Amino acid sequence: MRQDSDARPRVVRHAKGKRPKFSDVGGVDELMSMVLVLASELCVLRDRVDAMERVGARNGIDFAAEIEQLPLDQAALEAREARRQDLFQRLYYLARKEAEELKSQETTDRYKAIIDEIAKP
């Protein structure tokens, strides 16, 4: 996928022809494509996990069954919960930012005022 700087010929990546707009709201079309690309990558990852389980099975390790029966000790429970909370933090970073701005009274007016202030000789 990465376009190297080497000289060898590369295939064409974009189709000639104006892409139509679907949503009247700016950014929604782009968002839609990003969501589907992410869904695709999620599927790819799930397929890879599936492949690992199948490769394991071919070599006598029943990952799928062992995964179902794996006991989670305290360390595992904590590691997983931490990872989930961390994911939510990242997923809701904009909402958290908004709350933080309200708390610290960061406003658009204040932002503009800073620009003016900094620009003053």
Partner 1 sequence: MLNTFQQRTHAMLPTATHDESSRQEFAKSLKQFVQEALLPGLQPVFTQRAAVRFSEKHGHAPADRREIRSAMLGDPYFQTYASTNRISQELMWASVTDSIDRELPKLIERAKSFSASARAQLKIPGQFEVPRYISSLDIHCMPGGYATEVAPDDVSVAALYDRGAYLYCIGYCGPDNDDFGVSVCNYVKRNLPGFAPRRILDLGCTVGHSTLPYKERFPDAEVWGIDVGAPLVRYAHARAAAYGLEVNFAQMNAEATEFESGSFDLIVSHILLHETSAKAMPRIMRECHRLLAPGGYMIHADLPPFDKMDGFTQFILDNETWYNNEPFWGAMRDMDQIQLAVEAGFAREKVRFTTAPMAILEAAAKAAAGYTDEAATAVADRDFTAGEFAPGGGWEVLVAQKSPEARL
Which residues of the shown chain bind partner 1 in the complex (CB under 8 A)?
1, 8-17, 19-20, 22-24, 29, 32-33, 36-37, 39-40, 43-44, 47-48, 51
Q: Answer for the pair 57, 63: CB distance below 8 angstroms, yes or no.
A: yes
How far apart are CB 1 and partner 1 at their closest, in Å?
6
Q: Please, which residue, 33 or 89, has the CB nearer to partner 1?
A: 33
Tell me how far apart the alpha carbons of residues 25 and 102 are, in angstroms, rounded to a whole number. Answer: 26
The enclosing H or E element of 79 equals helix 74-91
How far apart are CB 56 and partner 1 at their closest, in Å?
15
How far apart are CB 45 and partner 1 at their closest, in Å?
9
User: How does 53-91 read in b/e, with b if 16+ C-beta sit within 10 Å?
Assistant: beeeeeeeeebeeeeeeeeeeeeeeeeeeeeeeeeeeee
Q: Answer for the pair 29, 23: CB distance below 8 angstroms, yes or no.
A: yes
How far apart are CB 2 and partner 1 at their closest, in Å?
10
Q: Please, which residue, 23 or 89, has the CB nearer to partner 1?
A: 23
Q: Please, which residue, 25 or 115, has the CB nearer to partner 1?
A: 25
Q: Please, which residue, 17 or 26, has the CB nearer to partner 1?
A: 17
